[in-house]
Amino acid sequence: MRIVDIISKKRDGLKNSYEEIYDLINGYLDGSVPDYQVSAWLMAVYFNHLSSEERVDLTEIMLNSGEKVDLSEIEGIKIDKHSTGGVGDKLSLIILPVVACAGIKAAKLSGRGLGHTGGTIDKLESIPGFKTSLSKENFINLVKKNGLAIAGQTASVAPADKKIYSLRDVTATVDEISLIAASIMSKKLAIDTQGIVLDVKVGSGAFMKNKEDAEELALSMIDIGRKHGRKMSAVVSNMNQPLGQMVGNSLEVIEAIDTLKGVGPTDVTELAEVISSRMLYLGGFSARQSEKEVYEIISSGAALNKFKIFVESQGGDPDIVEYPYDKLPVAKKIIEIKSKHSGYVKKIDTEKIGLASMLLGAGRAKKEDIIDPSVGLKVLKKIGDRVNLDETLVKLYINKKDYDEAEKLIHQAYEITNDKTEKEKSVIKIY
> What does the binding site for its own copies look like in residue numbers (CB under 8 A)?
3-5, 7-8, 11, 34-40, 42-44, 46-47, 167, 169-173
Residue among 34 and 315 whose Cβ is closer to its own copies: 34
One-letter amino acid at 430 equals I
Catalytic residue among 187, 364, 378, 395: 187
Bin 404: left if φ > 0, else alpha if -120 < ψ < 50, else beta: alpha
Pair type for strands 246-248 and 376-379: antiparallel
Catalytic residue among 183, 277, 290, 374: 183
H-helix or E-strand containing 38? Answer: helix 35-48
CA-to-CA separations, 70 to 107, 140, 382, in angstroms, rounded = 11, 10, 43
CA-to-CA separations, 46 to 10, 178, 206, 420, in angstroms, rounded = 10, 9, 19, 40
CB of 27 to its own copies, least distance (A): 13
Catalytic residue among 161, 199, 258, 349: 161
Q: Is 82 a catalytic residue?
A: yes
Residue among 171 and 421 whose Cβ is closer to its own copies: 171
Residue among 40 and 279 whose Cβ is closer to its own copies: 40
Catalytic residue among 82, 123, 188, 364: 82
CB of 170 to its own copies, least distance (A): 5
Rounded (5°) CA angle 176-177-182: 105
Are 376 and 360 within 8 A, CB to CB? yes
CB of 28 to its own copies, least distance (A): 11
Q: Looking at the DSSP assignment, which residues form a beta bridge with residue 429?
A: 236
Residue among 151 and 164 whose Cβ is closer to its own copies: 164
Distance of CA 277 to the CA centre of its chain: 18
Query: 157, 210, 181, 175: which is closest to 42 by C-alpha?
Result: 175
Are 253 and 318 within 8 A, CB to CB? no
Residue among 138 and 171 whose Cβ is closer to its own copies: 171
One-letter amino acid at 214 equals A
Q: Is 112 a catalytic residue?
A: no
CB of 351 to its own copies, least distance (A): 16
Q: Is 166 a catalytic residue?
A: no
Q: Is 366 a catalytic residue?
A: no
Catalytic residue among 105, 116, 123, 168: 168
Residue among 47 and 325 whose Cβ is closer to its own copies: 47
CB of 66 to its own copies, least distance (A): 22
CB of 175 to its own copies, least distance (A): 9
Residue among 35 and 385 whose Cβ is closer to its own copies: 35
| Dihedral angle over CA of 191, 192, 196, 199, nearest 10 | -10
Q: Is 161 a catalytic residue?
A: yes
Contacts of 34 by beta carbon, 8 Å cutoff, 6+ apart:
none
One-letter amino acid at 320 equals I
Pair type for strands 148-152 and 392-398: unpaired
Q: What is the 3-state secondary structure (H, E, C) of 222-236?
A: HHHHHHCCCEEEEEE
CB of 47 to its own copies, least distance (A): 5
Known catalytic residues are 82, 161, 168, 183, 187
